Structure 1
Amino acid sequence: MSITTILTSLNNLEKLHRSLLRIAYDKTAVIKNGDMEGLDQLLKDEQSHLAAIIQMDGLRQRDVAQYLADQGRSASLNPTVTDLLDVVPEADNKSLEEARDRLLHAIHDLKWQNDLNQKLTYQSLQFVNLSLDIVRPRSESVNYSKTEISGQKISKEQPSFDSNA
């Protein structure tokens, strides 16, 4: 197992995260415009990207574990690139760090954009709830009356049958 395979996995992960970031940017525009059909399609695209990222990350973990095993090192349950930095030769160390930093930067940008989208969605929901509250009729009383609290109910209706007759 060579470092080149791991670098390829990291580069592919970065590309997938950048593509997911583009979807997040598109999602921001769609949320601002209120396009629900567009948002639905972007969510489907996002799900397929996430499945590809999970699969690619599994391959990366397998490759890292294999490289560590080839070097006679034990691998943790979820081996990371940081685990490799102590093992790889100096020539490969720099390229591995650069690939890791690019991927971390893409993940950071994606997290920031997703936080923004979450806030925009929350504000949209607040606006919808406010609009519904304005349109929806209010009930007369939300409090209990004095007679309901004491357990006495005074009926204003007269019975239609007089049992004393």
Structure 2
Amino acid sequence: MPDINDLIDVLNGEMLLYKDLLDISTKKTDVIIHGKIQELDNMTKIEGNIICRLSKLEEEREKILSGYDDTGEITISELCKMLPEDDAKKLKKIQKEFESILKALNDRNGLNKSLLQQSIEFVNYSLSIISNNLVEDNGIYGDNGSVKHVSSIIDRKA
């Protein structure tokens, strides 16, 4: 049987990375509200790096868990039943903290998704108004100052 402390170390490492993701998601909300596209792009790149690191830790976790169960699909709750009480308490504490972080991350990502959707709808609405006004007013001039007739100058889907 593998050393439970190895699993605890991996889980704590994953938890720190999920906390980083939650911190970034929280900052993203402000960035989305203020329309700071470049900062949003940078944050997304940072998230990608964190996710790569999480993937490596996840592989480690699965490898450790395969020592307890041939399928490697044993849950923390099931593992706690197999362990001494002290080790089970440590794992249960980590499990509760994980649940809290993941719920907060899910909630924040839902908010950010909603804000982004509203931003896209606003951009599409604005483009529609601009495009319709230009077409109705024939408001685009040609080379010699004459008015060009335009059917559409903007792709209406952002």
1:161 counterpart residue number:
none
Larger Rg: 1
Paired amino acid for 1:9: V
CA distance in 1, matches of 2:81, 2:70: 13
Count of matched residue pairs: 134
2:111 counterpart residue number:
116
Most deviating of 32-41 and 54-63: 54-63
Contact 1:13–1:53 (Cα < 8 Å) also in 2: yes
1:82 counterpart residue number:
77
Paired amino acid for 2:45: K
Task: Please give the per-residue CA displacement for 1:12-43, whole angstroms capped at 9, x wherever unaligned.
Answer: 11100000101101111110010110011001
2:21 counterpart residue number:
20
Deviation at 1:76, TM superposition (A): 2.3
Deviation at 1:77, TM superposition (A): 4.3
CA distance in 2, matches of 1:51, 1:111: 19
CA distance in 1, matches of 2:54, 2:46: 12
CA distance in 2, matches of 1:108, 1:33: 25
Paired amino acid for 1:118: K
Higher RCO (CA 8 Å, separation ≥ 6 residues): 1
Unmatched runs of 5 consecutive residues or more in structure 2: 137-158
2:56 counterpart residue number:
55
Paired amino acid for 1:126: E
Q: Give the aligned CA root-mean-square deviation in angstroms.
A: 1.6
Partner of 2:83, secondary structure, is coil
Runs of 4+ in 1 over 4 A off after TM superposition: none
